[in-house]
């Protein structure tokens, strides 16, 4: 098991360039399978989630060539298989996203229950409801699902809750479906806009309603063609480095990121007392004095993103006062709190008092459990202590790494394979900012 050896307590300073977005890149690899022409993607991060997706795509019929360090040339002349291979499919949540190209081109897909981070059940029922209206039959199998269609048909569908990945799969199915599809209450994240841009470059006809961006119109086309596309930069990675600057009392210039895509975060830390300087494609985040406590709730775009709250919780341990975080998107996403507590953080999990939970929360209520807490109070500032920890989750792993850089002394973080799912050469880039961090690969 690979690990980081970290000697913390030194402010991080300097500049860092943001890589391509994890949550856009691997889905665009899958979207390339909608055509038998060549699709070239640039700015693809070197992370394990992309590697797993590439291995599945190759097994299904995609030929893949690399160009440069972050470029992929993909071509799927024929779909060789409609069954997501076990092992790779169970490791990641990418398996069901292949429904788009496989249903469109082969009329069938069999996939295992999606893996990925332990965030609670993923709401596939929302996607299945949409696909059934598009002439897809859904059958539960032992350990997974089988989806079949005699031909995708456009529909008018309203998601009961905005769903990032389900919206993307629906787009991939609708882009070549017969007739028009209208998606209401679709997700609005920049990564989805990036997918729409790619699909339109391939010949798709997709547009958001100018007065209501959550409404998406898709006019089905008979065939897509090849194109070239640059993957959007990773907002989550930008937030991680921003939190590293604030928790270690440093200043980091974050390059190759549009500040508008992380505006909600930046405005939040400004309220706390952090200094930010926005440019066109970069932002500087600085600790200039004690930060004050703040209360946040996670929400879909344009709200405070659920992927940000783990790293942000670390910043709150260094703020003056009592902060609270309420997680509304996933039923179980406080894995990092126990790790922070082991490093000396002072927290208290709680259940928010909510009049109408079905409307308030974005996850399916049936996926909730009594042992899942949806709120945490964080008391600060706290002097974190170095310790040895094992991580089993991407965002919690990155948060623990930043916490070890914040704490004085020597820490060992095991299980960094989980961190490598979403961060390219994280240790190397933190070291370039002045962090004392060694990557031991085993």
Torsion of CA 426, 431, 432, 433, to 10 degrees: 100
- Bridge partners, residue 357, by sequence: none
Number of H helices, E strands in the chain: 14, 23
247 three-class SS: helix
Domain with CATH 3.65.10.10 in the chain: 3-18+234-440, 22-230
Candidates 3.65.10.10, 3.40.50.300, 2.60.120.200, 2.115.10.20; CATH matching 3-18+234-440:
3.65.10.10
Q: Compute CA distances 5 → 12, 311, 384, 388, whole Å.
A: 16, 19, 16, 9
Q: Is the peptide bond before 381 cis (omega within 30 degrees of 0)?
A: yes
Q: What band does 92 get if pLDDT is binned at 50, 70 and 90?
A: low
CATH class for the region spanning 22-230: alpha beta
Instruction: State the average pLDDT over residues 276-303.
Output: 97
What does the pLDDT average to over 414-440? 95
* Distance in angstroms (rounded) separating the CA atoms of residues 160 and 156: 13
Kindly state the DSSP code that residue 101 receives in the 8-state scheme.
Answer: H
% of the chain residues with pLDDT over 70: 97
Would you state the pLDDT for residue 142? 87
Instruction: Tell me what the pLDDT averaged over the chain comes to.
Output: 94
Tokens of 280: 């066109």
Instruction: Say if residue 116's pLDDT is above 50.
Output: no
Whether the pLDDT of residue 46 is over 70: the answer is yes
pLDDT band at 123; cut points 50, 70, 90: low
Angle between helices 22-31 and 190-201 (to 10 degrees): 30
Spell out a b/e string for 337-348, using b for 16 or more CB atoms within 10 Å of the CB, else e. bebbeebebebe
Q: What is the average pLDDT across 331-340?
A: 94
Reply yes or no on whether the pLDDT at 222 is more than 50: yes
Say which range, 110-114, 128-132, 299-303, has the weakest mean pLDDT: 110-114
Using one digit for the tens of pLDDT, what is the confidence trace for 159-202? 998 989 999 999 999 999 999 999 999 999 999 999 999 999 99
pLDDT of amino acid 364: 82
């Amino acid at each position: 098991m690979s690990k980081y050896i970290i000697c913390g307590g030194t402010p991080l300073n300097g500049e860092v360039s943001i890589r391509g977005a994890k949550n856009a890149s691997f889905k665009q690899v899958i979207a390339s399978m909608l055509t038998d022409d060549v699709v070239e993607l640039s700015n693809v991060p070197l992370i394990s989630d992309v590697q797993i997706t590439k291995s599945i795509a190759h097994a299904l019929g995609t030929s893949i060539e690399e160009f440069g360090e972050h470029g992929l040339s993909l071509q799927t002349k024929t779909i060789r298989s409609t069954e997501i291979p076990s092992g790779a499919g169970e490791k990641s949540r990418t398996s069901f996203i292949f429904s788009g190209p496989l249903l469109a081109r082969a009329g069938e897909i069999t996939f295992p229950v999606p893996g990925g981070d332990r965030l609670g059940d993923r709401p596939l029922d929302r996607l299945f409801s949409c696909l059934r209206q598009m002439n897809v039959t859904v059958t539960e199998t032992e350990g997974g699902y089988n989806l079949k269609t005699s031909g995708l048909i456009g529909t008018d569908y309203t998601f009961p809750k905005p769903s990032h990945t389900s919206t993307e799969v629906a787009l991939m199915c609708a882009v070549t479906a017969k007739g028009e599809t209208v998606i209401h209450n679709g997700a609005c994240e920049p990564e989805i806009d990036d997918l729409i841009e790619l699909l339109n470059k391939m010949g798709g006809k997709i547009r958001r309603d100018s007065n209501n961006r959550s409404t998406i119109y898709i006019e089905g086309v008979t065939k897509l063609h090849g194109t070239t596309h640059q993957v959007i930069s990773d907002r989550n990675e930008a937030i991680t480095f921003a939190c590293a600057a604030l928790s270690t009392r440093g200043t980091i210039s974050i390059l190759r990121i549009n500040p508008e895509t992380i505006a909600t975060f930046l405005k939040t830390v400004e309220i706390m007392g952090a200094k930010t300087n926005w440019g066109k494609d970069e932002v500087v985040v600085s600790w200039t004095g004690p930060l004050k406590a703040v209360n946040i709730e996670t929400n879909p775009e344009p709200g405070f993103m659920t992927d940000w709250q783990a790293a942000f919780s670390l910043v709150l341990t260094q703020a003056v006062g009592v902060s609270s975080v309420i997680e509304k998107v996933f039923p179980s996403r406080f894995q990092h709190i126990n790790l922070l507590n082991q490093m000396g953080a002072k927290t208290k999990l709680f259940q928010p008092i909510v009049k109408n939970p079905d409307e308030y929360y974005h996850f399916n209520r049936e996926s909730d459990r009594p042992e899942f807490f949806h709120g945490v109070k964080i008391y600060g500032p706290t002097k974190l202590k170095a310790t040895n920890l094992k991580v089993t989750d991407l965002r919690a792993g990155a948060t623990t790494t930043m916490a070890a850089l914040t704490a004085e002394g020597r820490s060992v973080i095991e299980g960094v394979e989980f961190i490598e799912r979403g961060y390219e050469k994280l240790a190397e880039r933190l070291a370039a900012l002045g962090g004392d961090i060694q990557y031991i690969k085993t």
